[in-house]
Amino acid sequence: MKKTMISHKVEQMPPSGIRVFFDLVLGMKDVISLGVGEPDFVTPWHIRESAIYSIEEGYTSYTSNKGLVKLRTYITQDLKKRFGLHYDVDEEILITIGVSEAMDLALRALINPGDGVIVCSPGYVSYAPIAELAGADVHRIILRPDNGFKVTPEMLRQAITPGTKAMVFNYPCNPTGVSYTKKELSAINRVLERHGVFVISDEVYDELTYDFSHTPFATLPGARERTLYLNGFSKAYAMTGWRVGYACGPKEVIAAMTKIHQYTIMCVPIMSQMAACEAVIGTRKPVEEMKREYQRRREFVVDRLNGMGLSCHKPQGTFYVFPSVKKTKMNAMDFASRLLKEKKVAVVPGTAFGPEYDGHIRISFATGFDKLKEAMDRMEEFMDEI
Ligand SMILES: Cc1ncc(COP(=O)(O)O)c(C=O)c1O
C-alpha cells in the first residue's frame, strides 16, 4: 500500500511506546512480564457463568444502542447507592466497548477542530492520540515526582487558555497510581468551573483505591453538568476481554455520543452486557479479595523497589508503580532493555508516557505473588550487578 493513502494525522501518529517495547518481548522464553495493564485474575466464576447461561438461553441478538435497560438500571442504581450520584436511565448513560470507546466518543462528540484539551502527563497512552484524531489541540501538563505526580490548581490555571474546552482527567492514575482526596479534587474543580472547562473523568480504577475513599468528580459541587463520568468493568472485575464500559453525564453529551456509537458500534455484545449485569448485582466477594491481594502486592513491591534503590512513591490506587531509575544513570529504555536481556524481566520504559519520563519505568503488580517475588529478586540481582 502506498504511504500516501494514509491520512496525514494517522501517518504522523507514533505507535504506542508500550507496544514497541513489548514487540521485543514476543518470542522470548521465561520472561516475567510486569508490563501489562491487565489483571492476572480470571473473571470471577459467577460472572462467567451468567454469560454462559445467557448464551444457553438464546441471548444472541443486538440490544438497544444505549445498552440493555437492565444493565443501565443496575449501574445507575449502584452509582446512587455508592455515591449519591443520580443519572437518568434513558438519557444520561450509554454502555460502551470499554472506557476506551467511551473516551473516543466523548472527544469526538465534544471537540471542534482546534479546541483545546488538557491531558496530564504521565497518563494513559491513548488520551492524546484520540484527542488529536478528534481534532483537538492537546495541551500536556507535565507532572513531576517532586510534586508526587499530582496536578495542582496552579498548574491548571497556567495551562488553561481561552481555547480550552475540556480536560481529560484520570484517577487513580495509570501509570503513577496517584489519586486525589475530595479536598484536592474540590480545589481542582473550582479552577475548572471558573474557566468553564468540561471534564472527561476516567475513573476505571476507582474500586482499586487503597488509602481513602474514592470521590467521583461528578459529585463535587457544581461539577455534575460539566462532567462526563467514565467507568467500566475491565480492571476491578478482571473483565478486560469482555469489553464493557459506560459513560454517564449531561443528556446532550450522551445523546451526541450515542449518535456516533449507533453508526459505528451499534451495541456492546449482549453476552458481555449480561455478564456485566451480574458483576453489578452479584456477590462482591471476589472483587474484594482481588483488591486485598493487590494491596498486599503493593506493599511488597514498593518496599522491595525502595530497598534496591529504585525510589518509588506508594500508589494510592491501581496496580502500577512508577519508580525512578535515575540512580542507575541509565535512561529508561536502556534500563528496560538490559533488564529484559539480562534478567528476563519486562517493564515499561517511562518514555512510553512522554519524553520527560526518561528516568522512570512502569511496573504492573497485576502479576501473581510468586512471579512478582521472583521478578523483584531478579531486579535486585540486576541492581547489584550494574
Ligand atoms: C486509565 C485507563 N483508562 C482506560 C483503559 C481502558 O479500559 P477499557 O478496557 O475499559 O477500555 C485503561 C486500560 O489500561 C486505563 O489504564
> Which tens digits make up the pLDDT trace of 87-132?
999 999 999 999 999 999 999 999 999 999 999 999 999 999 999 9
CB 194 within 8 Å of CB 162: no
| CATH number for position 289 | 3.90.1150.10
Cα 327 to ligand 1 centroid, rounded to whole Å: 31
Is there a single domain that holds both residue 176 and residue 257? yes
Is there a single domain that holds both residue 80 and residue 30? no
Instruction: Indicate the residue among 260, 281, 302 that finishes a domain.
Output: 281
Cα 162 to ligand 1 centroid, rounded to whole Å: 30
Instruction: For residue 139, give every residue at least 6 positions away whose Cβ sits within 8 Å of its Cβ, in sequence order, or none.
Output: 116, 117, 118, 119, 159, 161, 164
| CATH number for position 111 | 3.40.640.10
> Which tens digits make up the pLDDT trace of 30-63?
999 999 888 999 999 999 999 999 999 999 999 9
Is there a single domain that holds both residue 23 and residue 157? no
CB 278 within 8 Å of CB 46: yes
Instruction: Indicate the residue among 262, 281, 300 that finishes a domain.
Output: 281
Which is more confidently placed, 207 or 24?
207
Is there a single domain that holds both residue 234 and residue 323? no
Position in ligand 1 atom list of the atom nearest CA 318: 16
- Give the structural domain span for 301: 3-43+285-385
Is there a single domain that holds both residue 170 and residue 99? yes
How many independent structural domains does the chain possess? 2
Instruction: Indicate the residue among 281, 307, 326 that finishes a domain.
Output: 281
Is there a single domain that holds both residue 258 and residue 373? no
> Which tens digits make up the pLDDT trace of 229-266?
999 999 999 999 999 999 999 999 999 999 999 999 99
Is there a single domain that holds both residue 82 and residue 183? yes
DSSP per-residue codes, 19-63: HHHHHHHTT-SSPEE----S-SSPPPHHHHHHHHHHHHTT--S--
Is there a single domain that holds both residue 331 and residue 364? yes
Position in ligand 1 atom list of the atom nearest CA 173: 1
